[in-house]
Structure formats: structure tokens, C-alpha cells
Copies of this chain bind each other. A is one copy, B any other.
């Protein structure tokens, strides 16, 4: 099966800027992103005006605009990596692609630079197949198809809501793994996209993702933050939590989630050993979070993404709220986000 057409007007590229000078980041990506509309949201904790080279179609949001839109108290929700969620809120497009500002375009096995934007759009615009695993991976990739034994009634697939890309060079390991194996880099280019099966959870990373805003917009928000959540990916759990929520809700609504291509290349940033103490809390909490999501069923009454977030928030409060104050806060934040979303959509 073959590549889809890309309508530039359907796409926003959202960059959460945790560094002020985006010159080299944007220059690296220029060949792939200059024809699209960019939304750049600067981490509100960051001082200084963002530095952006000429030649991009870009809207830039800084602390003052965030404060003005959601109020100064809610603005705290958008600090650190979470600033990009403000970009998701500001987008009016069907598809949002978001790449962290420590990433550069990766090279494939032939040494060609990867067009991550085109690959994400291809993933989102072709169906997903969550109900039966195709051993030859995404049957909608060029040159692929369904293998023998795949029921014909299931070959139409379902809409894809989320496309999770991967990372070469610095893989997205946690602080303990990276601290134990400082030399461990990801050099394996796996030339595949696959649908994550229904009822299967995985740790979604926010480093390199794309989603269908019309289907999942209200779900993509950072409602779970560690007390000591920092400015390095090692130190965050927000995207992991968001990913679990997205997967739960996608499964419930019959929407697919894909993972695999495209790769980006990540540069070293932060100190894994320093980050160890910050991440301890997250490591422990994941042990509770996964069984919670794996055992949760949403009701038939939840037919929209908003309904699902509401139900999930209630379940978080009821079933996790007693165990850790962070979860009670998470439940509140989910509901607050829904209000912000409704007021701004």
C-alpha cells in the first residue's frame, strides 16, 4: 500500500522550547518544516525572548500570552516540557506534530535524512489495526500488506489517533539505566511502524509524537507531574502518564495508536546520575499506575474524548487518590484541563 497526500494546511508543528535560542534546532529541521505552520511555546520559566531564524511561518507564545489566555494560576500547568501542551491548545489544525528541541533529523540505514513530518502524517492518515497483530508490521506502509490468516473483515482498520516516533543516539532510557550504562546509545534503525494492540499499554514518550487533534485533542495534556519534575526527560513522567491515558481512551473509542518510524536523533542533555534522585518517585509510582490502567474499563456512556477524560479523572481520584497526594492533584488537573480546552477550542 502507498503513501498518502499531505495537505500543509491540515498540520501544525508544535515546539515546546525549553531553550531560548532555537536557531540551530530550526535550521536543522528547515528542509522538512518550513512549509508548515509552526507553533512555538516557550517554557514560561525561561528568561529571554526566543531566538528564531527568518523564513518560518510561526506563532510564538511566551509567558505573557499563556497568563493572558488561561490566567496566571493555570499558567503553572504549562511549565517545563508541558509548555508544548499550550501549543496543542492554540492549534486549530487536524494534525499536530511535536518534536522536542534537543532533536535533529535522523539518518536512515542508507544515510538519508528522515522526513519525520511526512512519516508521522502517513501514520496518522492510514488506518491502524489494533485488534489482530500483523506480523509484517503496518500493512499500510509502502510495500507491505496483511499476512496470510489476517481476517478479511478486519482489513479496513480503524482511524489512527496517535503516532509515536522513536529516537536514535540518545535513547529514551530512564536515569538509572543511563547512569548504569552511560555508553549505551541506540544505533538500531528499525524500519517499521506497527499498531500497538488493543489493551496493550506502553510508555509513550513525548519527544517525537503526532496526533489527530480532532480525535484526541482533549486527552493530550500533562496532568501528572512529579514533585521534583525537572527540565530533562530523565526526570519527567508527564508524557508517560498522558500516553497511558491516550491509549486507554483510544482503545475505548476504537482509535488506533502506532509506534515505530519516524526516528529523530537526540543529543545528550542533562546528567543521568544527578537526575537519579528526582526520578525515584516516578519509578515507584509507575508500579501503581500500570495496574490501574490495565484494570480500568470506561463505561458505554463515555462516547467522546471529553467524556472519557472525565471518567478517567473520577477513577484516578477514587482508586489512586488515597495512595499518593500527587494522584488527587492529577485528577483535579484533568478536569481543569477540560475546562481550559472547552474555553479555547
A residues lining the B interface (CB < 8 Å): 109, 132-137, 141, 143-154, 164, 166, 171-174, 177, 181, 184, 186-192, 196-205, 233-234, 237, 240, 243, 259, 283, 286-287, 290
Judge whether B191 and A286 touch: CB under 8 Å: no
- Complex partner residue of A199 from B199, B202, B233, CB under 8 angstroms: B199
Q: Is the interface of A mostly helix, strand, loop or mixed?
A: loop
CB-based nearest B residue for A194: B194
Contacts of A287 in B (CB 8 A): 151-153
CB-based nearest B residue for A192: B190
For this complex, 22 residue pairs linking A to B, each with C-beta atoms less than 8 Å apart, are: A132-B201, A133-B202, A135-B164, A135-B203, A135-B259, A136-B172, A141-B188, A143-B184, A143-B187, A145-B177, A146-B174, A147-B171, A148-B203, A148-B240, A149-B203, A149-B204, A149-B286, A188-B191, A190-B190, A191-B191, A197-B199, A197-B200
Least CB distance, A200 to chain B, in whole angstroms: 4
Cα distance A209–B133 in the bound complex, in angstroms: 17
Judge whether B135 and A188 touch: CB under 8 Å: no
Least CB distance, A336 to chain B, in whole angstroms: 24
Least CB distance, A193 to chain B, in whole angstroms: 10
Contacts of A109 in B (CB 8 A): 109
Least CB distance, A215 to chain B, in whole angstroms: 21
Q: Which of A150, A172, A198, A199 has the most CB of B within 10 A?
A: A150
Least CB distance, A242 to chain B, in whole angstroms: 11
Contacts of A198 in B (CB 8 A): 200
Judge whether B133 and A145 touch: CB under 8 Å: no
Cα distance A200–B195 in the bound complex, in angstroms: 12
Judge whether B136 and A166 touch: CB under 8 Å: yes
- Complex partner residue of A181 from B145, B187, B200, CB under 8 angstroms: B145
Judge whether A173 and B197 touch: CB under 8 Å: no
Contacts of A189 in B (CB 8 A): 191
Cα distance A204–B148 in the bound complex, in angstroms: 9
Cα distance A172–B148 in the bound complex, in angstroms: 6
Contacts of A150 in B (CB 8 A): 174, 203, 286
Judge whether A196 and B133 touch: CB under 8 Å: yes
Contacts of A188 in B (CB 8 A): 136-137, 141, 143-144, 191-192
Judge whether A286 and B173 touch: CB under 8 Å: no
Judge whether A172 and B151 touch: CB under 8 Å: no
